[in-house]
Amino acid sequence: MAKYDAYEYDFMIYIGRFQPVHAAHVKTLDRALAMARHVVVLVGSANEARTIRNPFSFEERADLVHGAVTPDDRARVHVTPVRDEAGDDSAWMQNVYAAARGIICQYETRGSRIGLIGHRKDATSYYLNLFPDWEFVEAPLEIGINATDVREAYFNTPAMRRGVRTNLPATTLRFLKQFARQSAYHKLNRDYQFSRVTTR
């Protein structure tokens, strides 16, 4: 029997911005890989210029997602971009469905079972209710870390405090260290420091 015959789903959809990838993302990816033959990671805000909220490009985040899983699993993790549509959920949903279909149609067989994995943490998670065609799968309880805290710690000091560093994969830590040497980091850091001054 092929390994994937034991999987509950043929495809598991995972939507996020991954700015950057942290331990809670990895835990969710691991659960998705345990449940599905293929994991389709839809990376949001793919069309955004670098900002404090979205500092990393799609390509950088795709590398971080692949770097967070084992080499044996990377062939089953398919990362693709999704454009934002500010204030237009209908257009954004079409983007999500199109991005997912672009991957699924390469492997799909008749009767494929598709899941959508995520965690309903607050009102911002409403998007998980927008895709009734996909079975919702609750992600593991989040580890005490979120990407906003990581970014704030990173822009305060690239080395970050120990409590943040311990919740980041080694590949994310290496990337952040390298990125801090680039001019893009210094520009974002200036923007961050300015925003702190103006909001006090």
38 vs 196: CA distance, rounded Å: 42
Q: What is the pTM of this model?
A: 0.92
Residue 94: Cβ within 10 Å count:
12
- Whether 140 shows a pLDDT value over 90: the answer reads no
What class has domain 3-143?
A: alpha beta
**pLDDT for residue 55:** 98
Annotated domain spans of the chain: 3-143
**pLDDT for residue 120:** 79
What are the tens digits of pLDDT across the range 36-71?
Answer: 999 999 999 998 999 999 999 999 999 999 999 999
DSSP labels for 49-90?
PP-SSS-S-HHHHHHHHHHTS-TTTGGGEEEEE----TT-HH
Q: How far is CA 191 from the centre of its chain?
A: 24
